[in-house]
Amino acid sequence: MSDDAAPRPETAGVRPLVIVSRSLTREVLADGRITSSSQKFERGFVLGCSARTPVTVVNVSKRGDGGREGRIGDIRFLSTTYAGLIPTLIRVAPRDAAVLTTGYGPITMIALAVSRLLGKRVFAFIYDSHLNDLNGRSLAGRLAIHAYFGIGFLLAHLMNGWIVLNDAFVRAGRLPSPPCLKVRVGVDPALRPSPPRPATASDRPVFVWSGTLNADNGTQVLIDAAGKMGARAFELHVYGYGPMTHLVQEAAARDPRIRFHGRVDNAEVVAAQRRADALVHLRDPRSAGSDHAYPSKLIEYLCSDRPVISNPIPVISDVQDLLIPLDAYDAEALASTLSAIVDRRLALPRQTGAAAVVVARQNWNTVSAEVLDFVSAPR
């Protein structure tokens, strides 16, 4: 992206947008160097919005070191600290702008509440839950995190509206919520499907799993399933990091069929997905993420046009017909399905066609237009 492009003119009736984000650094926006699902999600959203209205991205962090101020293509970019967020928003947000932040951290919620008092329209894009960060922490740590973000969630009720991927927590909430827009996970509208797999399947099928290595994402189930597949020949490539990284490292040291790659750029992960025979997605149905979030990694998987194996949960019912379903969320069910593929009792398609379905239904141009119409509508 060029730093000297002219600002994009505003589409009639659409407000300028100021986006406050922890994930969107200059490196992520300008170079596309992505190592997390949140970075990929937010970058796609910002680029989609910038096609219709002027967008300013404010990267906020403890040290304010997300990158130098300037233009990145059509997008104005600057960094600030949490302490400097309110004066930064006063300085950069036009009076008619909609100010939007991802998540509901209390500091950003306070800054947006002040912005609303100053006449701005403010919104929270809630696509994940802090409850996903409680696993593996001490009781004191869980209580502290829950109290901190609980304050932020209460403050989020002062916003003009919410944008969500999963509205189950909205419907189950005890407090009246602001107006709410439910959208899908967006994908690149220019995405090209992977080429079809060769007609003859490999004697050593390649399975890929990627994401955060934690209990909610089935890390233990994945490792246990590999151990239940006897002497069958296969490769399981695992990409990611998290509190259960050591379990995968130990399993890879014991079993040469398991290949652990750690944390790498998203482009490398996507390339590996497109080379795989099948992709594995797991989500504990009892986890907070199943009730309060949407697994965006699953959409990335489907866009590879490779077969995707997943246990069913209600939040992914919109793509259930594009998946190979597991009978249960456990190691036995996963091992049974993977073994059937290795033994060629379960034939895999050369190309699933899922990418075309997903791109047509939820590309970022469509999703960002829905959001911009929502934040621009008179209320």
What is residue 198's predicted lDDT score, i.e. its pLDDT? 63
Q: What angle do CA 310, 238, 102 make, to 5 degrees?
A: 70
Pick from 244, 171, 232, 242: nearest CA to 205: 232
What is the mean predicted confidence (pLDDT) over 292-305? Answer: 90
Domains of the chain with bracketed CATH = 17-186+363-376 (3.40.50.2000), 206-359 (3.40.50.2000)
What is residue 351's predicted lDDT score, i.e. its pLDDT? 85
What is residue 129's predicted lDDT score, i.e. its pLDDT? 74
Cα distance between residue 56 and residue 58, in whole Å: 6
pLDDT digits (tens, 9 = 90+) for 193-244: 777 766 545 679 999 999 999 999 999 999 999 999 999 999 999 999 999 9
pLDDT at 1 over 70: no
Cα distance between residue 294 and residue 169, in whole Å: 12
DSSP per-residue letters across 68-133: -SEEETTEEEEEEESTTHHHHHHHHS-TT-EEEEES--HHHHHHHHHHHHTT-EEEEEE-S-GGGG
pLDDT at 116 over 80: yes
What is the pTM assigned to this prediction? 0.84
pLDDT at 152 over 60: yes
Pick from 216, 224, 268: nearest CA to 243: 216
**For a pLDDT cut of 70, what percent of the chain falls above it?**
93
What is residue 74's predicted lDDT score, i.e. its pLDDT? 94
pLDDT at 12 over 70: no
Q: Is 28 left (phi over 0), alpha (psi -120 to 50) or beta?
A: alpha
**Residue 184, SS3?**
coil
Cα distance between residue 25 and residue 19, in whole Å: 12
pLDDT digits (tens, 9 = 90+) for 312-352: 998 899 999 999 999 999 999 999 999 999 999 999 988 89
Cα distance between residue 199 and residue 364, in whole Å: 33
What is residue 170's predicted lDDT score, i.e. its pLDDT? 83
